[in-house]
Amino acid sequence: MNVRMIPWLLALVALAFLLGVSRFAVWPVVLVWLLVLAVVWVVSRSMTTTRGQRIGIALVLLPILFLLAFEGGWWLIPADLAWLAVELIERRGTGMAA
């Protein structure tokens, strides 16, 4: 398992937990978030970004998720923080020669 998969798995587990806790009452919201995550997954696989860009995106995403807290964004904040931690800790893909 790649350490870069941890944020994605956290996002899926959080949405599944939200679905279970709400007894499927918020399934439309979870479905929208799953669609957004699927689009981001597909687009991110086709793009090449630097470490700095990924850190910047993760930092910009935090306030957006706070603003979307009532629409389920609150449940994705741990995944975003995990993504930020992975990018800050891992040195692979920095674009710098060692």
pLDDT tens, 3-33? 999 999 999 999 999 999 999 999 999 999 9
Residue 73 is predicted with a pLDDT of: 93
Asked if 6 and 82 touch (Cβ cutoff 8 Å), the reply is yes
Residue 96 is predicted with a pLDDT of: 46
Buried b (16+ CB within 10 A) or exposed e, 28-53: ebbeebbeebeeeeeeeeeeeeebee
Residue 93 is predicted with a pLDDT of: 53
- Which parts of the chain fold into alpha helices (H)? 6-21, 27-46, 51-67, 77-89
Output the pTM of the full model: 0.85
SS3 1: coil
Q: What is the pLDDT of residues 44-95, one digit of tens each?
A: 999 999 999 999 999 999 999 999 999 999 999 999 999 999 999 987 654 5
CA 88 from centre of chain: 15
Residue 98 is predicted with a pLDDT of: 38
State both tokens at 66: 């706070």
Residue type, position 24, single letter: F
Asked if 77 and 83 touch (Cβ cutoff 8 Å), the reply is no
Residue 90 is predicted with a pLDDT of: 86
